[in-house]
Structure 1
C-alpha cells in the first residue's frame, strides 16, 4: 500500500484551479475582521520614498521605526523589466495544474511550485499559489517549458541581480540611520554584501467568488532582514498599524503605485536595531474580480552568522534580544512560527500585551491544530 502523504506535504502545494462558485470549507477563513480597515490616507498613508531624496537616511530611518514598511521610487529598475517580470509570473501561473506539479515542492526540496512554508501551521488553505526560487530557476523552467524556458530565466535572473544590489544598498542606509559609521557597518552581520543570501517567491492570488471569506496570505512577519516586493497592478497587501492617537489597531492597505516597490522589515532587522525598527505584521487579501500577482525578494545573512542587537544600540542599556545564529533562529521559526522572537528575548523584557508564552514547541500535526480563530486573533490582538 502506498504511504499517505503527510499533511505538511499536502500543504506544500495545493493543486487547485480555483474554479469554484463559492469558497469551499477547506479555504474558508473566519477571522478576517479582527481589526477594522483604515483608508490609506492622511496618517495612515504608507510612506513613499524617492531614493534621490536629499534627506534619504533620515526618511528611511523614520519609516523603519514608525511603519516597518514603505514604498520606493527612483530605485533604478527600468519599467520594461518590471513589465517583463509581471508577464513571466502570469505566464507561469497560467500553466495547467498538471504542468506546474512537475516542479512541486517536497519536504526534501523546497524550491518549486507550492505554498509558503507557514502554510503547514494552519488547517485551512490560502487562496493563492506560489513558486519559490532559491538559486537559478533554470532546472524548473526547463521542465515547465522544455522548448521555451530561456525568457523566463533571463527575466528572473536579471531582476534578482538588480534587486539584490538595491536591497544591500537599502540595508546599508538603514544602518546609517541608526547612527553606525561605515567602519561599524563593515563589522556587522550584514556588512559584507557579497555574503548576503537571497531567495525569491512568486505569488498568484486568483479572483475569489467570496473574498470576505478567503485569505491570500495569513498574518505574519518575515523572518529575515528585509523583503522587497513587486506588485503587478492590483493591491492586496495589508499591514497592521498599532493602536495610536489616530485610532485602534487597524489594517491598512499598501497601495499599488505604478513603478514603485514595497520594502518591509523582517524579524532579524528588528533584532539588529534592538527593537527600534518595526517588523511589520502583514497579510494578503483577495478580491472578486482580479488576479493579483507579486514577487518577493527575501534577504538573509549567511547561515553561520550570529545575529543580535548592534553594540552601539545597547550602550548603557540591556539588549532586548539575545544574539543567535541565523540558522538557529530559522529553526525556531520552523517550530514556534510567529512566537520565535519572544523565545530569544532577554529576561526582563516581558511579553507584549496579549502575547502567549513561547517557552516550548507546539504540536502542529493535522489532528492537533490549535483553534484557528484564536490563533489569528491572538497574533494581531497584540497590537491593540
Structure 2
C-alpha cells in the first residue's frame, strides 16, 4: 500500500484488544485509497493536543478539604482531609502527560516513568504540568490517594504539546501492559488512566479511550478550558471518557471550564497547590480537576480491585455531592466530587498542624499538614 518512491512510512502500530490500526506519514492519494478500502473503518489526519492551560496564583490550598465535605467548609485551611485508610494502595495510576519528576521528594520512590512517546525527548518532565498532576493524584502532602503507584507516560513535550498518534500509542501501550499483568495473577493490579489534555475531536482517540475502558481501565480526563461544550473536544467528548469540570473555592464553575452533558461531574481545579518541577506551585484548570477524580477512583479501587470501569464511574457519580456547584453551564450535571463512599467508616484524617511537621497520633489516625 505504501509508495516506496516517497517518504511514506508507518510511525506507530496499535495492537490492543478492540483497537487495531496504525499511524503513518502518507500522501493524500494513499490516504484516500486507504479510506476507500472496505477493511478500513476510519482514516483521519494526525493533530496536536495540548495541556489544559494553567495559571499560577497564591490562595491557600483547599481542594483536599473540599472533596471530603458534603458542604463547603467555612475555613478551608483549618479543615481536615478525611480519606480511606488504604489510600489507593495497590493501584497503578498512569499519568499520560508531560512526564513526572520522579525525584521530587513528595513522591518518595512511588513514582516512575514507564513510557515516552515524544521523539528525541528525555524521559523526564521538561514542563512541570505532569508533575503537578501526579502530585494531586498521589503525592505525600498534596495527593488524594497517598499510596498509589504513579506511572508517568510522556505524550506532551516541553511546551505542553503532543500528537494524536502519540497519545493513542501511549493508550495502546497501557492497555497491553495492564492486560499482560492481569494474565499473571501475582502481578494483577487495578489501573486508572489520567489525561489532563485535550484538542479537536478525534474519532481515533475516542476509540482508543473506549478500548482502555473495555479493558477495565477507567479513563479520567480534563473537560477542557475553552468555556464551551465538552462534547466538542477529545478526549472529553468520547463516550467512555470520564470528563471532569473545574469548580473553584466558592463552588462555582470556573469561567474557563467546559460544560455540558459530556461532563460527568465537577472537582476542585482552581488555584490548586501541588508538586511542580523541583518545587511546588498553584495552578488552575480542568487539568487540576481531573487528577482529583483519578485519585478518588484509586481510593475506590484499592478496596474494590475487581470492579469494572463502569462500576468505578457509577461509584464516582453516586458518591458525588449534588446541588453544590453554581453556574454549571447548559446541560451539565450538578455533581461535586466526594472521596468517601456512603457508609464508609474506615478512614484517615489529614489535618493541619501549626508546626508544619508530620505527626503520628494513633495507629489508626495520621495527622500531617494540608
TM-score of the superposed pair, with normalisation by structure 2: 0.27
TM-score of the superposed pair, with normalisation by structure 1: 0.26
Greater share of residues in strand: 2
Greater share of residues in helix: 1
